[in-house]
């Protein structure tokens, strides 16, 4: 995506644009992104690195693909102070994460969750977790399994016991 454009920057890793310092992030699959420090420090992990002076060279973002990292950066840009004029506009933009009935949307949200967890981005983590929680509202356990694409790993006895213990949750 932006590999070529930033190849130059990745060699020094610590460039400035005007007075704003730029950080270089590299995704798991090798894509390189340049991000303003003021924006990237929405990630607590990156902020810690900057504070400890460990962000002078390219920062590897393991477990996160370039595609996902691009989405994360879009998130940061939208959530930079002053980037969006009002709260309502931001909420509208965030609402695109709310409908995840589609399998591909779901995968995106899982990837974002993974990235938000690794980079420790509280706002993104909250948005994704609440979107997933919203999507499974009122679903039965079997429907939840289908939604998460998970098979039960309880044995029959265990599952019976669990259902008994949580009986009240299965009554409508």
Partner 1 sequence: MSGMLELPEDCIAAVISFTTPRDACRLACVSTIFRSAADSISFGTASCIRSRTLDQSPVLRRSATSIASFWLDRPSGKICYMISPRELYSVCYDCTELWQIYPIDIAHYHFSIPDCRFPGVLIRFDVISFEVGGKISTSLLSPMTTYTAYLVFAEGLIFCRDDAPAKVAVGLARSTNGLNRTIYLHRVHLDGDDDGFFPKRRADGWLESELGEFFNGGDEEGELSMTMKTCWKENLLIQGIEIRPKKE
Q: Which residue ranges make up the site for partner 1 (CB under 8 A)?
A: 44, 107, 110-111, 113-114, 117, 120, 122-123, 125-126, 129-130, 132-134, 136-141, 144-145, 148-154, 159, 162-163, 165-166, 168-170
Element (H, E) at 16: strand 14-17
Least distance (Å) from partner 1 to the CB of residue 170?
Answer: 7
- The answer to whether the beta carbons of residues 61 and 98 sit under 8 Å apart is no
Least distance (Å) from partner 1 to the CB of residue 130?
Answer: 5
Cβ closest to partner 1, residue 17 vs residue 67: 67
Report the 10 Å Cβ neighbour count for 43: 25
Cβ closest to partner 1, residue 95 vs residue 152: 152
- The answer to whether the beta carbons of residues 121 and 43 sit under 8 Å apart is yes
Least distance (Å) from partner 1 to the CB of residue 140?
Answer: 7
Cβ closest to partner 1, residue 29 vs residue 159: 159
Cβ closest to partner 1, residue 7 vs residue 144: 144
Phi-psi region of 13 (alpha: psi -120 to 50; beta: other; left: phi over 0): left
- The answer to whether the beta carbons of residues 26 and 32 sit under 8 Å apart is yes
Phi-psi region of 18 (alpha: psi -120 to 50; beta: other; left: phi over 0): left
Least distance (Å) from partner 1 to the CB of residue 31?
Answer: 17
Q: Measured between alpha carbons, how far is 108 from 18 in angstroms, rounded to an integer? A: 34
Least distance (Å) from partner 1 to the CB of residue 10?
Answer: 26
Q: Measured between alpha carbons, how far is 147 from 84 in angstroms, rounded to an integer? A: 33
Cβ closest to partner 1, residue 22 vs residue 113: 113
């Amino acid at each position: 995506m932006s590999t070529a454009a930033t190849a130059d920057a990745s060699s020094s890793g610590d460039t400035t644009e005007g007075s704003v310092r730029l950080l270089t992030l590299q995704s798991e699959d090798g894509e390189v992104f340049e991000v303003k420090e003021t924006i990237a420090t929405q990630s607590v992990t990156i902020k810690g690195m900057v504070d400890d002076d460990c962000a002078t060279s390219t920062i590897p973002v393991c477990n996160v693909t370039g595609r996902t990292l691009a989405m994360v950066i879009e998130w940061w840009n939208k959530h930079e102070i002053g980037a969006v004029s009002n709260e309502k506009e931001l909420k509208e933009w965030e609402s695109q994460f709310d409908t995840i009935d589609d399998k591909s949307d779901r995968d995106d949200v899982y990837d974002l969750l993974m990235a938000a967890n690794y980079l420790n981005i509280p706002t993104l983590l909250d948005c994704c977790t609440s979107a997933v929680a919203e999507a499974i509202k009122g679903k039965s356990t079997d429907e939840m399994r289908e939604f998460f694409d998970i098979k039960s790993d309880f044995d029959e006895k265990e599952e019976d016991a669990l259902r008994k213990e949580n009986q009240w949750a299965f009554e409508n």
